[in-house]
Amino acid sequence: MEFVVAQLSGFGSSLFGLMIDPVTYFYLIPAVFLGIVFGALPGLTATLAVTILTGFFGNKFPLDQALIALIGAYVGAIYGGSYPSILLNIPGTAASAATAMDGYPLAKEGRGGEALGITTTASFIGTLFGTFCLLIFVWILLLVSQNIASPEKALLALFGILLSGTLMSQDLVIKGWISGLIGLAMAMVGLDPILSEERYIFDWSYLLSGFQVVPVLMGAFAIPQIMDGMRAAISLGQVPKLDRIRPELGEVKKRLPVILRSGGIGTGIGALPGVGEDVAGWVSYGVGKTTSKESEQFGKGSVDGLISAEAANNAAIGGALIPLLVLGIPGSPPAAALLGALKINNVIPGPTIDPALIIHIVAVLVLASVTMFLMGLFTARIFVAILRIPKTVFLPVVMVLTTIGSFSVGGGINDLFLMFGVGMLAYAMNLMHYPIAPLVIGVILGGLFDETLRRSLLISDGDLSIFFNRPGAAILLGLNVLLVVSQIPYFKSLSRKIFGGSKPQ
């Protein structure tokens, strides 16, 4: 109890410090606005919003100020995806795909304003729930992480890549794994972290420092959207008129258990390495469908369905930051972009992270969610108007944004070449239904995996038992093996025979 009180008091003073500082609002309000706009415009993602801002802030601004903008954009973008989902049946981000299932039917019934209002409230409470979990669990896990050494880190990084590949695949699971391997392979370029041996540099000195995260993220998330989006509809369609947006307090009270349950699911899924907000939304929607009293209404305009998806995807933000801060392993692609920003500022997340930074991040998350809530309730009509901007007009602007953002991070023109190359690769992968998130997670975690795996073997003089003898490592190794084996068709059918269940369609 004493621990919780100490945390809350530290958090309280940090929050108060931020609230009375006018600079906070100078960064926060435009960042949340930009985030919501990025989320609302289909094709632009939360990852892209955070990455572009990373390029703008670089390391020329104090990190605590840059974090206000980056976290503000992250929170805003995850929420902003709900606008086109509800009003146009086009998910603004992958995280809000499940929102469209019930949001759009509600809008068609003329309840678009009500749907936006309850979504805003659910997103707000969901973010606060995830933030509270972050505040509590991050310390517990930091204590645990003191005992996490190289073998556990290597296996956890591998687990993150495998899990991301497994859960993000739309077609065959091995495509997700191949995508993760491509990311890992990209991380191998440059000088190796232990012996400084040159790898795959092809006599190009730029490659000695390896692939930079920001151009890779910009290429992976911006270029395919530009190439794909310059074909689609000229405008996004007719936006329905909105009724009252602010929700009734009684309605919110009635839905609070669903919001909290979804927040719990979202935080849990978000905390899994490399998975993220979109999976959180779908899992929570699925759980909601099986447990809700109005489950037969799911897909036809259920408020519970809408809340299940939205509260979960916003709660996943807090969850995704837990492994990021504790282990340096991002819980989602936008968190990976945040990791890039931390690294640019020479902050290495992990057991040695400055506790004041964690408290600061939690306080910023709370302020960002309040800003998002107020903007969602009082300026929603502005975001609805933004939906009318044709893709063919805003995507070229995004191209300029990503070019200048990518250039400024450090590598100059070479980073632009890298961004273009990664963009072409990502577009080809999109065409063949390879998920991009595992590639990004692979690029981010590749260096960590390489270094910690070899360090483990160096400590044990090449004895592989170091991965079995340590309890934590043994559990993680088991999880990795289980994850791979569970996807092999023979074992899939065997498990169906043993545990029952129908064959998937």
Partner 1 sequence: MDEKTTLRVRDFWASIFLIGASCFFIYKTTEIPFLNTKVAGVDSADWYNSAALVPFGIFGCMLVLAFVLLGIAIRDGGARQALTAVGIGYSRSELIRLSCICTILFFYIFGLVPRVDFVIASSLMMTCLIWGFHKQDRNAMLIGTATISSAALYALVMHFPRSQWTKPHDDDWIALAAFLLLTTIMIFKERRKGKLSTVTKLTPVISVLAPLILVLAMAFGFRQNVPNRTGLIFSHMEYHYYVSLRPLWRSKN
Count of residues engaged in binding partner 1, rule: CB under 8 A: 61
Please say whether the beta carbons of 89 and 96 come within 8 A: no
Distance CA 327, CA 141 (A): 9
Q: Whose Cβ is closer to partner 1: residue 86's or residue 163's?
A: 163
Least distance from partner 1 to the Cβ atom of residue 19, Å: 25
CB-based contacts of 206, cutoff 8 Å, min separation 6: 411, 414
Distance CA 262, CA 264 (A): 5
Q: Whose Cβ is closer to partner 1: residue 295's or residue 414's?
A: 414
Distance CA 29, CA 68 (A): 10
Which stretch in 92-100, 273-281, 370-378, 453-461 sits in contact with partner 1 by CB under 8 A? 453-461
Least distance from partner 1 to the Cβ atom of residue 270, Å: 27
Both tokens assigned to 274:
């490399």
The number of beta carbons lying within 10 Å of the beta carbon of residue 430 is 16
Residues in contact with partner 1, shown as a per-residue x/- string from 233 to 272 under the rule CB under 8 A? -x--------------------------------------
Kindly report the CA angle at 50 between 152 and 412, in degrees rounded to 5?
Answer: 95
453 binding partner 1? (CB under 8 A)? yes
137 binding partner 1? (CB under 8 A)? no
Alpha helices, H only, 248-302? 249-271, 277-291
Q: Whose Cβ is closer to partner 1: residue 2's or residue 461's?
A: 461
The separation between CA 282 and the C-alpha centre of its own chain, rounded to angstroms, equals 14
Distance CA 212, CA 258 (A): 41
Least distance from partner 1 to the Cβ atom of residue 28, Å: 16
**Amino acid at site 325:** L
State the number of CA atoms in the 13 A half-sphere of 124 facing the CB: 18
Burial of residue 113, with CB atoms counted within 10 A of its CB: 0-12 exposed, 13-18 middle, 19 or more buried: buried
Using CB under 8 A, pick the residue from 29, 370, 457, 474 that binds partner 1: 457
206 binding partner 1? (CB under 8 A)? no
Residues 380-439 that bind partner 1 (CB under 8 A): 390, 392-393, 395-397, 399-401, 403-404, 407-408, 412-413, 416-417, 419-420, 423-424, 431-433
Using CB under 8 A, pick the residue from 111, 153, 175, 343 that binds partner 1: 175
Please say whether the beta carbons of 426 and 167 come within 8 A: no
Q: Give the residues lining the site for partner 1 (CB under 8 A).
A: 55-58, 60-61, 171-172, 174-175, 177-178, 181-182, 184-185, 188, 192, 194-195, 197, 199-200, 223, 226-227, 230-231, 234, 390, 392-393, 395-397, 399-401, 403-404, 407-408, 412-413, 416-417, 419-420, 423-424, 431-433, 449-450, 453-454, 457-458, 461-462
